[in-house]
Structure 1
Amino acid sequence: MARGRGFEVEASVTAIESKITLAVVISCIVAASSGLIFGYDLGISAGLVTSLVASQVSSSLGRKNTIMLGGVIFLLGGAINGGAQNIAMLIIGRILLGFGIGFTNQATPLYLSEIAPPKWRGALSTSFQFFIQIGVLVAGCINYITANHPSGWRISLGLAVVPATMITIGACIICDTPNSLVERGKIDQAREALNKVRGSTNVEPELEELVRRSQHAKSMKQEPFVTIFERQYRPHLVIAIAIPLFQQLTGINMIAFYAPNLFQSMGFGHKAALFANIILGFVNIFAIIIFSSIVDRVGRRVLFIVGGIQMLVSQIAVAFVMAKATGIHGTGSISQGNAMLLLVLMSFYSAGFGWSWGPLLWIVPSEIFPLKIRTTGQSLAIAVQFLTIFLLSQTFLTMLCHLKFGAFLFHGTWIVVMTLFIMLFLPETKGLHLDSIYDIWCKHWYWRYYVNREVLQNQH
């Protein structure tokens, strides 16, 4: 059953044999490890441009090769930054890091959603967010260790080549997704990939379905970037734009960027602030592990809503403690006890994000689009994410200085908005085969007025 604002929806699921196999697990782990480079080097604006270009690259080269390309470019950027002799080299290196992230962030969620069995798609797709957080945590630990080293910045930037090398080598040993292979006309390779990831030789029904939908998609000559703006794809487009936008408006990446500065303003010393950031990283990882064990049982909607409420309570509590300790104008000092209380509240907030909006960003947009515009939809979602990260990263410290504790209420207000949005407009997709998701739009209380059931059924 899928649900939309309390309405139950019968979803027709194609009878396709699928189970967890060793090939699926290895492929998902290797592909998801590309999240390491995003977590290690979060917030590169060059990724905004690349994420849009990556749609065509992913369609032409396939998901696997796009991930590999992203790894190679990131490796080159890390090497240039590590050996930088001037500002120009640093800028070039950072741009290349952004290009690499743009490619991997676009291709990896698609890879995971297409290769995972429907029953386990949520859990396996979560691995991308898990590796992102591992990257964030590793970067935080390296910054903590090298904080007083004269070449600490060079070590931090240069070590980016390690995850990039792992991703590049790993991408060489996994197979591409059957969807991508069929899309590029490689039917025999698609059959072989299906045999491997499904653990069965009875893959002809699924292969025939993929071929049929691919042929129908190709018969529509319209450019995907034009098609996606048609009325019948309005639900997909709105969801794909809203989720990354709202995710950033929770304030999570502003904390990731400026956590040391934020904790210093809360009363922690420099080293203590870096250590507090590491604590948040561990909390987030623990929450992601919990998420992966329940997402395919309780569904996406419930976790979005519960996580949103948890983050809202945390933001309000943080604002209250800071207001009480520093006053309306933020001129007072924060005691050690209040600083520790704030760390606990921020950890509670981080956990709420870790089992809701964090991993669900990569799951929902990658599973709702039909094959014809799937890469385009994912590209737009990632572009919105990068654009929002860029804009908020330029304004957060200024907002914190002017609004003081009000900055947390600002994000808390947005959490209320996004939670209501999920309750009203996001139908449930857990357990559905990618080719059956059209049903949720056709029977949703609001989106049914936009979609054309026959068109969507042919294209998924």
Structure 2
Amino acid sequence: MAGGGAVSSSNGKVYPGKLTTRVVVACIVAAMGGMIFGYDLGVSGGVTSMDSFLEQFFPSVYQKQKADDSTNQYCKFDSQILTTFTSSLYVAALFSSLFAASWVTRRLGRKLSMLVGGALFCAGALINGLAQNIAMLIVGRILLGFGIGFGNQAVPLYLSEMAPSKYRGALNFCFQLSITLGILIANLVNYWFAQIEGGWGWRLSLGGAIVPALFMIVGSLFLPETPNSLIEMGKQDQAKAELLKIRGVDNVDEEFEDLVAASEASKKVEHPWRNLLQRKYRPQLVMAILIPFFQQITGINVIMFYAPVLFRTIGFGSSASLTSAVITGLVNVIATFVAIYAVDKFGRKALFYEGGIQMIICQIIVAILIGKEFGTSGDSDNLSKGYAIAIVAFICIYVAGFAWSWGPLGWLVQSEIFPLEIRSAAQSITVSVNMFFTFVIAQLFLMMLCRMKFGLFVFFAFFVVVMIVFVHYLLPETKGIPIEDMAMVWKSHAFWKRFVDDDVDNEKPKKCSP
């Protein structure tokens, strides 16, 4: 399979290249690394809604959620110990990204980072599946977090560096598609295993994370390394040979020379972490922090890793809550396919706008529906059928809006805007901020639901409004611009151009907008 055409740069250069089979296969296999993240997002909320799991590890929560007459409906699962089980993974992912994954990815290559991530995740899944006490659960979660830190560090960079700029958005979205598939598979697994007699199905759910980990391990062994990474490691002949293969043409001299020049410039940077604080990298630093922050404050993880708990809290039965989580997971996958088609056609900002507005409307409607049914007392145990259908429908529409906007774009934009000399360090900041706020939301959600009740959805909707304003005024359009020329985007931006040094090439890009 190959697509014709050339890769046009923003400053008038044209890099010859096709969408080759080698690139497509490599990107699909690498993107499977996202499945480990998605599987964990989906599986953790499911097992924490299973009675047998709660009874063995969190008996106080089990007793509270069974005491229907004495406990506010919003507060049945409010337990810091229970949320620590979920959120400990994200603290581990934060530290692994900051202190290990960044160095491995930069110095030893994207492939090795994916391999290490898969191995750590596999070990964590095994321990969780065999857990006998909370300590084993937490140790397993920490190892899973280390694995996700390595995977989320390497995979988006790998995809952006392998893909021709014309197809970079669609191919990078394979990572988000893999995450959504992992969530859907985890929701299906939870539904099936919850039916097992004897109450040990949660072990299969948690231990099943070994499967996506093995995909990542095996895939990383056979993937080609990116030309950018090979050049960074001093293997220029191998890098040029690989560039010829992935572009499918006979002459890649101009693109190769630009990659080498970028690498040489990056080698002069002795302290990439310190460099991030320089004025000329202010736009990238702001994006590395705010985009992952905004991605998490949409409230999506309230739905994704607490979906069964959330649905059960607002009146669904155990089986119905798992079924509803499967439905939202399926919508997530379908909507991501829409994003793959639209991102390189309509651009990044158009999807941010549309998805954001869609999420705001749905969050407000869900807040109204839950508030009308439960009020602030939470004294209704079962939703009427009409209310239940309406809530699931609007949550699905909300999930679709996220799945073709802040979900994939939160990873794509970050992976394409960083220059090579700070790319690994900046990506590490992105992953760390993402994991930190994922941890915060995971740790505080059940407490916030207990105290803020249906107003929690309004809280998240407010931040989505702020996000749309941020995108409009501060985020440039990056559609179709080669990574090597991305510095010109900031040079021509109405706000950020004041921070960029004058030594950046003066020519303005043709395809970017403030």
Hey, what does 2:81 align to over in structure 1? none
Instruction: Give the Cα–Cα distance (whole angstroms) in 1 for the partners of residues 375 and 119 of structure 2.
Output: 50
Matched residue of 1:454: which SS?
coil
Please point out which of 50, 61, 78 is paired with 2:96. 50
Trace 1:410-429 onto structure 2 (pairs within 5 A). 410-429=459-478
TM-score for the superposition, normalised by structure 2: 0.85
Query: Is 1:263 aligned with 2:295?
Result: no
Query: Is 1:127 aligned with 2:126?
Result: no
Aligned pair count reads 448
Q: What letter corresponds to residue 208 of structure 1 in structure 2?
A: E
Distance 1:326 1:62, change over 3 A: same
Please point out which of 219, 222, 227 is paired with 1:170. 219
Q: What letter corresponds to residue 129 of structure 1 in structure 2?
A: Q
The alpha-carbon deviation at position 92 of structure 1 amounts to 2.5
Trace 1:212-227 onto structure 2 (pairs within 5 A). 212-221=261-270, 223-227=271-275
8 A contact 2:491–2:504 mirrored in 1: no
The alpha-carbon deviation at position 342 of structure 1 amounts to 0.5
Hey, what does 1:38 align to over in structure 2? 37
C-alpha offsets along residues 157-179 of structure 1, whole Å, 9 cap, x if unaligned? 21111111111111111111111
Instruction: Give the Cα–Cα distance (whole angstroms) in 1 for the partners of residues 375 and 302 of structure 2.
Output: 23
Distance 1:456 1:369, change over 3 A: farther
8 A contact 2:269–2:275 mirrored in 1: no
8 A contact 2:10–2:482 mirrored in 1: no
Q: What letter corresponds to residue 97 of structure 2 in structure 1?
A: S
C-alpha offsets along residues 161-218 of structure 1, whole Å, 9 cap, x if unaligned? 1111111111111111111111111101101210111112212221111111211221
Question: Unpaired runs of 5+ in structure 2?
Answer: 1-8, 42-86, 508-514
Distance 1:124 1:118, change over 3 A: same
- What percentage of aligned pairs have identical amino acids? 49
Hey, what does 2:129 align to over in structure 1? 82
8 A contact 1:438–1:457 mirrored in 2: no
The alpha-carbon deviation at position 140 of structure 1 amounts to 1.0
Hey, what does 2:397 align to over in structure 1? 348
The alpha-carbon deviation at position 14 of structure 1 amounts to 3.0
Hey, what does 1:319 align to over in structure 2? 367
Q: What letter corresponds to residue 48 of structure 1 in structure 2?
A: L
Trace 1:95-244 onto structure 2 (pairs within 5 A). 95-149=142-196, 150-221=199-270, 223-244=271-292
Distance 1:320 1:86, change over 3 A: closer
8 A contact 1:77–1:96 mirrored in 2: yes
Instruction: Give the Cα–Cα distance (whole angstroms) in 1 for the partners of residues 129 and 376 of structure 2.
Output: 44
Please point out which of 319, 340, 348 is paired with 1:292. 340
Instruction: Give the Cα–Cα distance (whole angstroms) in 2 for the partners of residues 457 and 34 of structure 1.
Output: 39
Query: Is 1:397 aligned with 2:396?
Result: no
The alpha-carbon deviation at position 85 of structure 1 amounts to 4.5
Query: Is 1:301 aligned with 2:349?
Result: yes
Instruction: Give the Cα–Cα distance (whole angstroms) in 2 for the partners of residues 82 and 331 of structure 1.
Output: 36
Trace 1:337-376 onto structure 2 (pairs within 5 A). 337-376=386-425
8 A contact 2:18–2:249 mirrored in 1: no
8 A contact 1:13–1:436 mirrored in 2: no
C-alpha offsets along residues 23-57 of structure 1, whole Å, 9 cap, x if unaligned? 00010011100011001113622101011121111
Select between 48-57 and 282-291 the one with higher mean Cα deviation.
48-57
Instruction: Give the Cα–Cα distance (whole angstroms) in 2 for the partners of residues 324 and 81 of structure 1.
Output: 40
Q: What letter corresponds to residue 89 of structure 1 in structure 2?
A: M
Instruction: Give the Cα–Cα distance (whole angstroms) in 2 for the partners of residues 335 and 456 of structure 1.
Output: 63
Instruction: Give the Cα–Cα distance (whole angstroms) in 1 for the partners of residues 10 and 222 of structure 2.
Output: 35
Hey, what does 1:4 align to over in structure 2? none
Q: What letter corresponds to residue 23 of structure 2 in structure 1?
A: V
Distance 1:418 1:440, change over 3 A: same
Instruction: Give the Cα–Cα distance (whole angstroms) in 2 for the partners of residues 227 and 17 of structure 1.
Output: 32
TM-score for the superposition, normalised by structure 1: 0.94
Instruction: Give the Cα–Cα distance (whole angstroms) in 1 for the partners of residues 505 and 467 of structure 2.
Output: 27
The alpha-carbon deviation at position 124 of structure 1 amounts to 0.3
Q: What letter corresponds to residue 50 of structure 1 in structure 2?
A: S
Q: What letter corresponds to residue 112 of structure 1 in structure 2?
A: L
Instruction: Give the Cα–Cα distance (whole angstroms) in 1 for the partners of residues 231 and 33 of structure 2.
Output: 24
Instruction: Give the Cα–Cα distance (whole angstroms) in 2 for the partners of residues 153 and 13 of structure 1.
Output: 56
Q: What letter corresponds to residue 96 of structure 2 in structure 1?
A: T
The alpha-carbon deviation at position 15 of structure 1 amounts to 1.7
Distance 1:414 1:192, change over 3 A: same
8 A contact 1:227–1:373 mirrored in 2: yes
Please point out which of 429, 438, 450 is paired with 2:487. 438
8 A contact 2:359–2:401 mirrored in 1: yes
Distance 1:131 1:218, change over 3 A: same
The alpha-carbon deviation at position 19 of structure 1 amounts to 1.7
Instruction: Give the Cα–Cα distance (whole angstroms) in 2 for the partners of residues 100 and 13 of structure 1.
Output: 41
Q: What letter corresponds to residue 501 of structure 2 in structure 1?
A: N
Q: What letter corresponds to residue 40 of structure 2 in structure 1?
A: D
C-alpha offsets along residues 72-105 of structure 1, whole Å, 9 cap, x if unaligned? 1212222233334454433322211111110000
Instruction: Give the Cα–Cα distance (whole angstroms) in 1 for the partners of residues 220 and 358 of structure 2.
Output: 37
Select between 160-169 and 348-357 the one with higher mean Cα deviation.
160-169
Instruction: Give the Cα–Cα distance (whole angstroms) in 2 for the partners of residues 250 and 61 of structure 1.
Output: 35
The alpha-carbon deviation at position 326 of structure 1 amounts to 2.1
Instruction: Give the Cα–Cα distance (whole angstroms) in 2 for the partners of residues 367 and 425 of structure 1.
Output: 16
8 A contact 2:39–2:182 mirrored in 1: yes
Hey, what does 2:54 align to over in structure 1? none
The alpha-carbon deviation at position 66 of structure 1 amounts to 0.8
Instruction: Give the Cα–Cα distance (whole angstroms) in 2 for the partners of residues 14 and 436 of structure 1.
Output: 9
Hey, what does 1:451 align to over in structure 2? 500
C-alpha offsets along residues 428-456 of structure 1, whole Å, 9 cap, x if unaligned? 00000001111110111100111114257
Instruction: Give the Cα–Cα distance (whole angstroms) in 2 for the partners of residues 167 and 124 of structure 1.
Output: 17
8 A contact 1:14–1:436 mirrored in 2: no
Q: What letter corresponds to residue 47 of structure 1 in structure 2?
A: A
Please point out which of 103, 108, 111 is paired with 1:64. 111
Matched residue of 1:451: which SS?
coil
Matched residue of 2:123: which SS?
helix
Hey, what does 1:27 align to over in structure 2? 26
The alpha-carbon deviation at position 229 of structure 1 amounts to 1.0
Hey, what does 2:67 align to over in structure 1? none
8 A contact 1:13–1:433 mirrored in 2: no
Q: What letter corresponds to residue 108 of structure 1 in structure 2?
A: V
Hey, what does 1:382 align to over in structure 2? 431
The alpha-carbon deviation at position 332 of structure 1 amounts to 4.4
Matched residue of 1:16: which SS?
strand
